[in-house]
Amino acid sequence: MDKPLQSLNRQSPAVSIDPVTPSPPALTFRTDIQFVPGVGSQRTPLLHRLGIRTAGQALFFFPRSYEYPNQWMEVGELREGVPAALVGRITEVEVVSRSAGKSVLGVLVENETGAVRLLFFNQPYRVETLLRGSRVIVSGVPKLAGFRFEFIHPQVTILGEHEQVPAGRILPIYPLVEGLKQSHLRKAIAAVVDGLADGVEEVLDDDLRRDAAQRIAATLPPASEADSLAMDQLPGIAKALREIHRPSSQAELDAARSRLIFQELLVLQLALAIRRRKLTTDLTAPSLPPSAVIDARIRNRFPFELTADQIQAMNDVGRDMARQFPMNRLVQGDVGSGKTVVAQYAMLLAVAHGYQAVMMAPTEVLARQHVQTLSRCLAQSRVRIGLLCGSLTVAERREVLRKSAAGEIDVLVGTQALLYGEISFAKLGLCVIDEQHKFGVDQRRALRQGGVDPHYLVLTATPIPRTMTMTMFGDLDVSTLRQKPPGRGTVHTYLAIDGWRERWWRFVANRIDEGRQAFVVTPRIRNDKPDNDSAAAESDLNADSDSPDESTGEDVSSAIATFQQLREGALAGYRIDLLHGRMSTEEKTAAMERFAQGRTQVLVSTTVIEVGIDVPNATVMTVLGAERFGLAQLHQLRGRVSRGTHDGHVCLFTDRSDAPDESDRLKTFAETNDGFEIAEADFRLRGPGDLMGRRQSGMPPMMIADLTRDEAILTIARELAQEMIDADADLSAPAMAKLKSQVMRRYGDVLSLGDVA
């Protein structure tokens, strides 16, 4: 080998021993983690960093993965290329220098049958844990180098000095923090399992575990059913906890995981089912049925053919609003699928019965657009429409509030300004929340007044993955719009390569010459550090919330710079305008009106145009810095050029050296126009937390279930939960007492279920 930089043949540090203290009493679930065997005062802070403060928390601190044993061999039995495992002691550790700052860490491991060398390339930090004198398990694929076998980047497990070598068992791998070894955590949790597992109360009776096991087994491929779930019922909780931490076989591990995942998801689904039932028993709403006359009168207002999905959604809304408890319905649909038409139907149904309707939008631009759309639809009708937003003068706001309280406004459209101040309604019957993911549950409750609750209709143009509709939106009934109105053009998506920019801008110019209009979208308003004074009005609180931090100093496409470059370069001579969230409300409104009326041909914008902007003549979109946008956000942006009869064209450019077609995420976006497929892909990439944001704030995190992996068990848990509530609405049967108690402990406060208990 090359000349070593340094020799690191250090001895393992002496094992520290805590001062002798009286033996602690037998473990309980509340025992301080310090007094669990194998922890002590020195390791306690490390476990605190993992969120483990008590023995009970350690019991439910589940492995993140598992280490599977290779065949145990002596050194003389090793064969090149055949996976193997052996136990030995580290006798040498050295880092060897290579050119350009690269290094090789060599570790010699010996036992009574011989020696092997472990090699780690460019991982010098491993010298901190691979210490001379340590006992280790080495697992990997040996390679013969001269007269000695080498393991390149093997799995190495540090063993305690007197720790017994596992007899080929599956070993748990737990999340760690710096300074804590797997062996330490394994020892502590093993002690907790031995002391506490048998004391965990069983909340799932035999019949329920048998039913669940049969349903889960039915979802497995035939070849794996016998191996993965060979049992008549899910294991009891004590056995499941022992097997999840110390599996005796793969089959037992799979059964234990299924049991624990099912229980966690069942508890959540029972909480949601109870909440859905509460809405039908504890709250009272006005009955607003769609009679044949009212229904026909409303539908005749729409000067176009409704899609089958829109008709079904309207039927759902009409059925819900006819009841004497609040509608709580989510209408989700792909961009351009006509969700606003369903909302108009609901609002006019309320007005037809003499009630008021309120519609809340996430931005003032969108709120004003809703007012314009409603005004066109209701021209020459007696329906009175009002607007409440942050840009109104004090006198204008006071007048809107007066009219709302006096019943002189039938449909009030607004932004988050609806949530603040002393707003009241004479007879509120319906609340419509557009782009509901921008608002939390508490904000929706702010619109509730008096002893009679309004009906709720929430809309989203961001299709929600199926598992999310069963969890974070499980308290809502769901209508889905997949169909597009007839006559819409096709949108073509391109991933730009080097050298495309000049050619693409010529393409944009040609489309403009044909009479079309174009969007240019950037991830940032400006490249220099932003002013402390954000001029964005409250109505645009979320308008640019997904844009990258502008203070990083990176060379990122920005709206202001792009606007200047296009006006002076590739699109010089065309009418170009600028729109972003830091402009005043009046400036944003004026820019959108100029573009909607065709007075400007190109609109350079940030993501303030992401939601709801409807300009059918805009058929071309250029997205700069595309790698900085999420899949769902890109799909929303693309929806701005699929509003009319002409074909749309979207081209993605990146700010990085690699082209868009080198990104799997961007290739996924280009390969499909289906928002539901994109939502599922986005969900797999980003996970539920990133997707749902504030919607799930306050919800306890999942301990073992994974919504991206466990959809089949989630579906079974939802079905069983609803069956249980249908059979015993209050879960009053003695067999349900412990399960009900767990539901209330975990979700009672979060979902306001306390009075059910």
- Tell me the per-residue pLDDT of 636-676, one tens digit each, with 9 for 90 and over: 888 888 777 788 999 999 877 666 656 778 888 888 887 78
Torsion of the alpha carbons at 460, 462, 465 and 469, rounded to the nearest 10: -10
Question: Which long-range contacts (C-beta less than 8 Å, at least 24 apart) are formed by 566-574?
Answer: 566/505, 566/520, 566/602, 566/604, 570/501, 570/502, 570/505, 570/508, 570/509, 571/505, 571/508, 571/509, 571/512, 571/602, 574/509, 574/512, 574/601, 574/602
* Cβ-based neighbours of 501, under 8 Å, separated by 6 or more: 570, 653
Count Cβ neighbours within 10 Å for each residue of 303-312 and write b for 16 or more, e otherwise. Answer: eeebbebbeb
Say if CB 107 and CB 118 are below 8 A apart: yes
- Specify the higher pLDDT residue, 755 or 248: 248
User: What gap in Å lies between CA 371 and CA 110, rounded to an integer?
Assistant: 79
Nearest to 317 by CA among 359, 348, 293: 348
DSSP state for residue 558 in the 8-state scheme: B
- Helix ranges (H only) for 50-108 are 55-59
For domain 491-672, give its CATH number from 3.40.50.300, 2.30.30.90, 3.30.70.60, 1.20.120.1750.
3.40.50.300
Residue 695 has pLDDT above 80, yes or no: no
Domain ranges of the chain: 200-282+710-757, 292-481, 491-672
B/e letters for 91-122, b = 16+ CB within 10 Å, e = fewer, are: eebbbbeeeeeebbbbbbbeeeebebbbbbee
pLDDT, tens digit, for every residue of 189-224?
A: 999 999 999 999 999 999 999 999 999 998 877 654
Please answer whether residues 55 and 27 qualify as being in contact, where contact means their C-beta atoms are separated by less than 8 angstroms: yes
**Dihedral Cα 649, 653, 659, 661, nearest 10 deg:** -30
Residues 541-566: tens digit of each pLDDT: 333 333 444 444 455 688 899 999 99
pLDDT of residue 207: 93
Which of 546, 539, 612, 536 lies closest to 363, judged by CA? 539
Q: Is the pLDDT of residue 532 over 80?
A: no
Q: Say what the pLDDT of residue 698 is.
A: 52
pLDDT score, position 224 = 47
Decide if pLDDT at 540 tops 60: no
Q: How confident is the model at residue 529 (pLDDT cuts 50, 70, 90)?
A: very low
Closest CA to 611 of 647, 636, 575, 574: 636
Asked whether the predicted pLDDT for residue 633 surpasses 90, the reply is: no
Q: What single DSSP character describes residue 75?
A: G
Q: Which of 135, 121, 139 is nearest to 181 (CA)?
A: 135
Q: How many CB atoms lie within 10 A of CB 407?
A: 15
Tell me the C-alpha distance between 514 and 465, whole Å: 39
Residue 647's Cα: distance from chain center in Å?
32
Q: Other C-beta atoms within 10 Å of 234: how many? A: 27
pLDDT, residue 166, reads 65
In the chain, the percentage of residues whose pLDDT exceeds 90 is 44
pLDDT tens for 670-691 read 888 877 888 777 777 766 554 4
Q: Using one digit for the tens of pLDDT, what is the confidence trace for 379-400? A: 888 999 999 988 888 999 999 9
The pLDDT, as a whole number, for residue 667 is 85
Condensed to tens digits (0 to 9), the pLDDT of residues 73-129 reads 888 888 888 888 888 999 999 988 766 668 899 999 999 899 999 999 888 888 888
The mean pLDDT of 458-483, rounded to a whole number, is 80
pLDDT of residue 381: 87
pLDDT at 269: 93
Q: What is the pLDDT of residues 19-68, one digit of tens each?
A: 444 555 689 999 999 999 989 999 999 999 999 999 999 999 999 988 87
Rg (CA), the chain: 31
Residue count of the chain, please give it. 757
pLDDT at 680: 79
Buried b (16+ CB within 10 A) or exposed e, 265-300: bbbbbbbbbbbbbbbeeeeebbebebeeebbeebbe
**Choice among 2-6, 88-92, 419-423, 505-509 with the minimum mean pLDDT:** 2-6
| Averaged pLDDT score across all residues of the chain | 82
pLDDT in tens, 713-725: 999 999 999 999 9
| Short-list 273, 271, 447, 261, CA closest to 359 | 447
Residue 443 pLDDT > 60? no
Residue 584's pLDDT band (cuts 50, 70, 90)? confident
Residue 740: partners with Cβ closer than 8 Å, 6 or more residues away: 270, 731, 757
Q: Do domains 292-481 and 491-672 have the same CATH topology?
A: yes
Q: In this structure, what is the dihedral angle of CA atoms 607, 608, 610, 612, given to the nearest 10 degrees?
A: 180
- Percent of all residues in the chain with a pLDDT value above 70, rounded to a whole number: 83
DSSP state of 290: -
Closest CA to 37 of 147, 162, 146, 195: 195
How far is residue 111's CA from residue 141's CA, in Å, rounded to a whole number? 18
State the Cα–Cα distance between residues 468 and 693, nearest whole angstrom: 12
Question: Which pLDDT value is given to residue 68?
Answer: 76
Report the C-alpha gap between 385 and 171 in whole angstroms.
66
Q: What is the 3-state secondary structure (H, E, C) of 298-341?
A: HHCCCCCCCCHHHHHHHHHHHHHHCCCCCCEEEEEECCCCCHHH
pTM attached to this predicted model: 0.69
pLDDT digits (tens, 9 = 90+) for 159-185: 888 777 766 678 899 999 999 989 899
Choose the CATH number for 292-481 among 3.40.630.30, 3.30.565.10, 3.90.1170.50, 3.40.50.300.
3.40.50.300
Phi-psi region of 268 (alpha: psi -120 to 50; beta: other; left: phi over 0): alpha
Sign of CA dihedral 612, 616, 617, 623: positive
Out of 294-298, 369-373, 402-406, least confident range? 369-373
Assess contact for 182 and 167: CB atoms under 8 A. no
Query: What is the structure's pLDDT at 157?
Result: 86
Q: Output phi, psi for 570, to 5 deg.
A: -60, -30
226-231 average pLDDT score: 50
Check: CB of residue 86 under 8 Å from CB of residue 149.
no
* Dihedral sign for Cα atoms in the order 737, 741, 744, 747: negative
Rounded average pLDDT over 343-347: 95
Please say whether the beta carbons of 505 and 750 come within 8 A: no
Number of neighbouring beta carbons within 10 Å of residue 394: 7
Asked if residue 434 has pLDDT above 90, the reply is no
Which amino acid belongs to residue 380? Q
Of the two residues 431 and 333, the one the predictor is more confident about is: 431
Tell me, what's the pLDDT at 98? 66
Residue 234 is predicted with a pLDDT of 94
| φ/ψ (deg, to 5) at 158 | -80, 130
